[in-house]
């Protein structure tokens, strides 16, 4: 037996809360870069207060020139454990800009050198299932076969299942196959980290996530899934000739199937997500006039502990010490 060690997720939640509080001011205002920039700035300031030596290995924004915490950027006070950092200040910038649900702020960390480096890959095919179904599915199996096996593992009928799919042209055939199998579908315009988390969150009505989404988002989601106990099967799925050639030139095998254990090669993983725009996954930021309320989930991989945190912020006190002007 070991004495309890520090749960970094309880420090990381302060960072995702700060990003959510700052970016939620841009809800529905149509300016996705401004909302993203507010979250990035808040995150950078809050990271500086953490006793870690972090390096961003998964930073969002490179493929669309958005504001970002860039790959290779050092975060933290520099006097703590050496960590790989995966971060998306606003996962779902369009969701935030247009006032749609399920925009979140997300961070995952693990010991240095343990996170998968996607190189020039932007997209990967994913199949995410709860722990009870992780040994019955195959990424290359027909959709209907996987759905029937998932239903049996979860002690459900196929028509009980809810499948999270991104509403993209590339998924037209997938959607037809899911419907033909008899399962129900939740179509979302963006937010595949949220979709992956819904598939393994015991409180969610989503049973499985299918389809192609972002590679950085896949690594981020793996940080959480590793702690909760579900599984992700994934394979790089380039969406352009340029992306495919860049991956091949980097010597990366497009046939390799990844799991959470290859995407994050340590149990010492920590994860935090805070809701920004609200929705079926995490409630969004609620401004009260004198403060704000946030809702977060935090996960420690080694113990498998999943916490849901509601934080009530008071502007009068917070603004006396905070460098971020939330009000």
148: part of which helix (H) or strand (E)?
helix 143-153
Residue 93 marked as a ligand binder: yes
Tell me the two tokens of residue 297.
Answer: 């989930």
Asked whether residue 190 is marked as a ligand-binding residue, the answer is yes
Known binder of ligand: residue 256? Answer: no
- Residue 91 is assigned to a ligand binding site: yes
Question: How much of the chain is helix, strand and coil, in % rounded to 5?
Answer: 35, 25, 40
**Separation between Cα atoms, residue 15 and residue 109, nearest integer Å:** 12
- Quote the tokens at residue 175: 């959607």
265 is in an annotated binding site: no
**Per the annotation, does 88 bind a ligand?**
yes
Q: How far apart are CA 259 and CA 53, in angstroms?
A: 26
**For the chain, first and last CA: distance in Å?**
46
Of residues 106, 95, 122, the one with CA closest to residue 39: 106
Nearest to 287 by CA among 17, 21, 30, 90: 21
**Length reported for the chain:** 327
Strand (E) or helix (H) holding 274: strand 270-275
> Strand 184-188 and strand 162-166: pairing?
parallel
Ligand-binding annotation for 36, yes or no, is yes
Q: Is 170 annotated as a binding residue?
A: yes
Q: Is 168 annotated as a binding residue?
A: yes
DSSP 213-257: EEHHHHHHHHHHHHHHT-EEEEEE--SSHHHHHHHHHTT--TTPP
Instruction: Please indicate if the annotation marks 169 as binding a ligand.
Output: yes
Q: Read off the tokens for 6.
A: 């520090």
Please indicate if the annotation marks 203 as binding a ligand. no
Q: Known binder of ligand: residue 179?
A: no
Q: Is 60 annotated as a binding residue?
A: yes
Structure letter (DSSP) for residue 92: -
What are the binding residues for substrate? 91-93, 123, 168-170, 190-192, 214
What are the binding residues? 36, 60, 88, 91-93, 123, 168-170, 190-192, 214, 217
What are the binding residues for Mn(2+)? 36, 60, 88, 91, 217
């Amino acid at each position: 037996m070991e004495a309890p060690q520090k749960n970094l997720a309880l420090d990381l939640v302060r960072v995702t809360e700060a990003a959510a509080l700052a970016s939620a001011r841009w809800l529905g205002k149509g300016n996705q870069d401004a909302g993203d920039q507010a979250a990035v700035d808040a995150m950078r300031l809050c990271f500086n207060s953490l006793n870690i030596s972090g390096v961003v290995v998964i930073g969002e924004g490179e493929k669309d020139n958005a504001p970002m915490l860039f790959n290779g950027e050092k975060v933290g006070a520099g006097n703590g454990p050496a960590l790989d950092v995966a971060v998306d200040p606003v996962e779902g910038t369009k969701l935030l800009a247009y006032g749609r649900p399920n925009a979140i702020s997300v961070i995952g960390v693990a010991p240095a050198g343990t996170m998968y480096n996607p190189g020039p890959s932007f997209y990967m095919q994913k199949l995410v299932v709860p722990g009870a179904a992780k040994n019955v599915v195959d990424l290359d199996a027909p959709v209907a076969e996987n759905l029937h096996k998932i239903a049996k593992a979860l002690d459900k009928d196929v028509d009980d299942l809810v499948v999270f799919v991104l509403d993209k042209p590339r998924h037209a055939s997938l959607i037809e196959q899911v419907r033909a199998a008899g399962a129900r579908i939740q179509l979302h315009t963006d937010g595949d980290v949220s979709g992956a988390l819904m598939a393994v969150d015991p409180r969610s009505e989503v049973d499985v996530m299918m389809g192609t989404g972002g590679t950085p988002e896949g690594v981020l989601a793996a940080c959480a899934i590793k702690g909760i106990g579900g599984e992700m099967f994934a394979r790089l799925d380039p969406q352009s000739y340029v992306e495919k050639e860049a991956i091949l030139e980097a010597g990366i095998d497009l046939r390799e199937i990844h799991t959470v254990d290859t995407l994050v090669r340590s149990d010492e993983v920590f994860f935090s997500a805070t809701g920004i725009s609200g929705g079926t996954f995490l409630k969004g930021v609620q401004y009260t006039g004198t403060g704000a309320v946030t809702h977060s989930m935090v996960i420690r991989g080694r113990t498998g502990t999943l916490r849901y945190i509601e934080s009530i912020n008071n502007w009068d006190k917070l603004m006396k010490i905070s460098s971020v002007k939330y009000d």
